[in-house]
Structure 1
């Protein structure tokens, strides 16, 4: 985590700033891996690891995707986004 903090700060970004967010591809990397591992090793995570954006969840919410719609990769999201922009495809609400 120190390496990540140092890297972010080298980009002139303050990870403790209120608007700083980590973006993930699903919740697994943060909620089920990092939090679990840090708990096992008794490592206290900085607060910003508790507030993140799940790209798949936010994408689905933005496009009103059906709950049973699954996205297997980030490529799927871009493909659907492009189709929506070029053909005005919208999922039913």
Structure 2
């Protein structure tokens, strides 16, 4: 992401960070124009953790700002046919949108 921003002359306007999303974001309220999360909401997080994370994003994004995210699609081969070894280690991780939440 940093390289793409640099190539487009936007490096001074983009900030990236690595953060444990199960903890509050280290940013003030209404402090960012936009947030981008690639597959973050597909991670092995509980419903409560996802709600907390989205609440934190809402807290830090300025009014009128945007939250852009990507998620798996039920047509994605990995979502339909999970790796059995991973499914055993993380039984809730590979649930698709068609499956009910326990």
TM interval, shorter chain, is under 0.3
Tell me the TM-score normalised to structure 2 length. 0.26
Greater share of helix residues, 1 or 2?
1
User: TM-score, with normalisation over the residues of structure 1?
Assistant: 0.27
Higher percent of residues as strand: 2
